[in-house]
Copies of this chain bind each other. A is one copy, B any other.
Amino acid sequence: MDRVRAGDLRALSRAISIVEDRRPDSTAILKALFPYSGNAGLIGLTGSPGAGKSTLVDQIAREYRKQGKTIGIVAVDPTSPFSGGAILGDRIRMQSHYADSGIYIRSMATRGSLGGLASTTADVATVLDASGRDLVMIETVGVGQDEVDIVTLADVTLVILVPGMGDDVQTIKAGIMEIADIFIINKSDRDGAERVEREIRAMQSLAVRHNNWTPPIVKTVASDGTGVLEVVESIEKYREYLKQGSLGRNRRVENWRKRITEMLRDALFQRVVTDYLGNGEAERFAVEVAEHKRDPYSLVEQLVKEVGKHA
């Protein structure tokens, strides 16, 4: 793990692969690297498909680079559970553009079979963090609970909207309204940017936040870099804000509370699958239930009681 910590890119890529695939030595790697994590700023970005996230993330990373910061990017695409993410094609192409080793991009196209995607993403971010990156950006498509879980594990959450995406996007907006620390209206040279801004303001008046921060709205045109510096300034302003009092600490504690709970659930699940549903028992139970010889609710109660008897 010394090579990961020294910033060796091949060692980093290998470690991330092991963690992403939840291979047996995954936990050992994470245990070894965890003490060196906690220094990077974690930035989460989400928005609908087509909001221009990749381009914007790219521009933000370049802006930070100008300021001498090193960046790790985790791009998560959970929309494609089976086939593995066409959107990420962009990301993979983009990676090859970086001669600069100060920007490292990792695409996560598929879910690991074990553990949740949010948990895996957090662990990958921990590896990047421990490798000495100043900033770790986590990018995902904001459509469901998983994605909300992913971006909220960051210190700062950016929600990216675009003008003129219709009513369904309104729904998505409503869902992620509460998690935004900063709003970005990308493609803001299009018609309707003002309307999106008004809608955000209207929603803000209804939203309940845990602190006194009013999320700023930054307008960008990521394709030509317009507004990107302002985004970076807003991120830094929020990070400064978090340092006041115990806000930043509280957020990390709250995130860890969620993560520990998740991790515990996943770990227990693994144990249950091995101890109670291995050796064809899952199949046998499923047959009995499908044939209505057994009700699944009583079965599960009984299995939960069993847990530990053989501990």
Contacts and interface: CB of A to CB of B under 8 A. Distances in A.
A111 B255 CA distance: 20
Nearest to A111: B145
Contacts of A300: 260, 263-264, 267
Chain A interface size range = 35 or more
Identify which of A265, A277, A309 gathers the most chain B CB atoms within 10 Å of its CB: A265
A166 interface: yes
A50 B147 CA distance: 21
A252 B178 CA distance: 39
Contact of A143 (B111, B143, B148, B277): B143
B292 A174 contact: no
Interface string A134-150: 00000000011111100
A19 B113 CA distance: 28
Interface in A267-306: 267-269, 271-273, 276-277, 282-283, 285-287, 289-290, 292, 295-301, 303-305
Contact of A260 (B263, B289, B305): B289
Contacts of A249: 290
A196 interface: no
Given A261-B269, A308-B309, 17 more contacts: A27-B297, A35-B292, A49-B171, A79-B143, A79-B144, A80-B175, A81-B175, A86-B174, A249-B290, A253-B290, A256-B286, A256-B287, A260-B282, A267-B304, A268-B307, A307-B307, A307-B311
